[in-house]
A and B are shown apart, each in its own frame.
Chain A
Amino acid sequence: MDITKLSALEIKKHIKSGEVTCEEVTRVFISKILENKKYNAVLEVFDDAVENAKAMDIKIKDGFNGKLAGVPIIIKDNILYSGKICSCGSKFMKDYIAQYNSTVVKRMLDEGAIIIARANMDEFAMGSSTENSAFGVAHNPIDFERVAGGSSGGSACAVALDMCPIALGTETGGSVRQPASFCGIYGLKPSYGRISRYGVVAFASSLDQVGIFSKTLEDNALMLEVIAGGDNNDETSSKTKVDDYLSEIDKDSTNITIGVPKEIIEMVKGLPCEVNFHNFIKVIKDNNIKTKDISIKDVGLGLATYYILAPAEAASNLAKFDGVKYTSRDNNAKNLQEIYKKSRSKGFGKEVKRRIMLGNYVLSSGYYDAYYKKAKAVQGLLIEEYEKAFDECDIIIMPTTLGEAYKIGSKPNDPVETYKEDIFTVTANIVGIPSLSIPYGKGKEGLPLGIQIMSKKFNEKTIYSFAKTIEKIVKKED
């Protein structure tokens, strides 16, 4: 039995029955990480993981039955785990040690998870390839010459290469769904407010969410059950009831309506994802699931809206990295202003500086109305358009990415060419709805592609049960 191929639910079962110990499981996954070091998915294996696993074995023997009892988990490098380095993929934060647990870490630990490592990412989650990580790019698990995606590329690669069954990432504009698609696994961006962000380093606070990578749908649902729900330490977290995602996953969802936005049909024309997207629509129709042509008129404005709102918030959020409270200080600085400027200029990478500059530009007097205020209004418009669309359907589908994972270093110096990669993912963040990228089909080069399944806010359970229906259809066809 190769433990690393198992799902979290299976691992839990095998530990409970006494077939394997949590310690054995943890050691096997750590070996897997070390064997695959060249992929650069993981920045650090936590040295107390095996000790924690041993303690968990005793606890389980004493009857502990947590939802993640003994399951090894990897977290993105911007999620605080007390006593561990949390560097956000930045050399500016390379020595930063978390002083407390994020709510997601606390909830996982309470349910018996063993957090074994932290994963590589684009610096401060800004990027779509992890090429912006200060610690080098994370490679694609299927083709080493290609990117794993980003910004949560390390987490996605780790799951795809069996370094853990479930990993956490974060999303501001597709940073979980896009790498999930590039690596051929499931990646969920939950509704805004579904998961507490307490102890998660902020990028753009009105868009950020923690997301979940997994090899199976059931594991994804299991993890959401554990980490979702209101939190007094994050007033933007919602107290809306957390559903029993796992037990409702097999609920029949053939009686629902799938919305296909006509604007997306236009947008995919000529793109590498076009054929696969149409195949997907055909498959659901062939299986007697109702589809409906819908319209989200201004979905095409999503990218511009995102690249105004996200940098604006980032410029404000990243002001706290100043070489005084934390982060490294440039010792050549002679006064306070120089500490700020020199430390930040030395500490931040190119992409982060670019976005801080853009953010301050759209917020500066003279431009605020034309850009930031207008983008907020378009956000309102898009929320309305999505709400209207969901009056006509239960699920909206679109591709996750333009195409397959691209070659490392292949994007030209024009940053906007890279930003365009996010065209299908950003609107879910702008309007706050949940979206799951499911692995579906392959591109011309034989690499995985993904389809996004979106639903109304706090309706993750419909997403899971529809995704399950698709999974069954695909299995039947194979």
Chain B
Amino acid sequence: MDKKEIKHLAELSKLEFTDEELESFDFEFEKLIELADIIKNANIDGERKLNMIDMNELREDNPKSGYSSEILLENAPDKKKGYFVVPRIVE
């Protein structure tokens, strides 16, 4: 795995690494991929359902009250008049 690829992955992950961090990450990532590669030995015959864990028991779709925006905004690092505040996006 080259640095370019790791940097691309960091971009997808919305993470930044210093050059020093990238250096050690290179080694660690090789090890992680080695572990993941074991899966390639799996002998899967025929089609299998992707997820066989039964779940998703849906409730009746009845309206009920939720949390107020005031409550939901309480942990926001920056907020104003019921909105999250972020820097200007459109130049």
A positions within 8 Å CB-CB of B: 95-97, 99-100, 192-193, 206, 230, 232, 235-239, 298, 301, 303-305, 307-308, 315, 319, 322-329, 333-337, 339-342, 344-345, 348, 353-354, 356-358, 360-362, 364, 370-371, 373-381, 383-384, 413-416, 419, 432
- Is B50 within 8 A of A380, CB to CB? yes
CA A307 – CA B16 in complex, angstroms?
Answer: 23
Q: Which of A99, A341, A362 contacts B67 (CB 8 A)?
A: A99
CA A206 – CA B71 in complex, angstroms?
Answer: 28
- Is B51 within 8 A of A353, CB to CB? no
Q: Which residues of A contact B29 (CB under 8 A)?
A: 357-358, 361
- Is A344 within 8 A of B53, CB to CB? no
CA A345 – CA B10 in complex, angstroms?
Answer: 10
- Is B87 within 8 A of A334, CB to CB? yes
**What does DSSP make chain A's interface, helix, strand, loop or mixed?**
helix
Total A-B residue contacts, Cβ distance less than 8 Å: 162
Using known A-B contacts A99-B71, A364-B9, A370-B40, determine if residue A416 contacts B35 with beta carbons closer than 8 Å.
Answer: yes
Within 8 A of A (CB), among B59-91: 59, 67, 71-72, 74-78, 84, 86-89
CA A360 – CA B29 in complex, angstroms?
Answer: 12
- Is A236 within 8 A of B56, CB to CB? yes
- Is A235 within 8 A of B86, CB to CB? no
Q: Whose C-beta in chain A lies nearest to the C-beta of B28?
A: A415
Q: Which residues of A contact B54 (CB under 8 A)?
A: 193
- Is B75 within 8 A of A99, CB to CB? yes
The minimal Cβ–Cβ distance linking B53 to chain A, given in whole angstroms, is 5
- Is A341 within 8 A of B15, CB to CB? yes
Q: Which residues of B contact A376 (CB under 8 A)?
A: 50-51
CA A100 – CA B36 in complex, angstroms?
Answer: 38
Q: Which residues of A contact B27 (CB under 8 A)?
A: 413
The minimal Cβ–Cβ distance linking B38 to chain A, given in whole angstroms, is 4
Q: Which 6 interchain pairs have the tightest Cβ spacing?
A: A304-B38, A326-B75, A329-B77, A380-B48, A340-B14, A345-B16
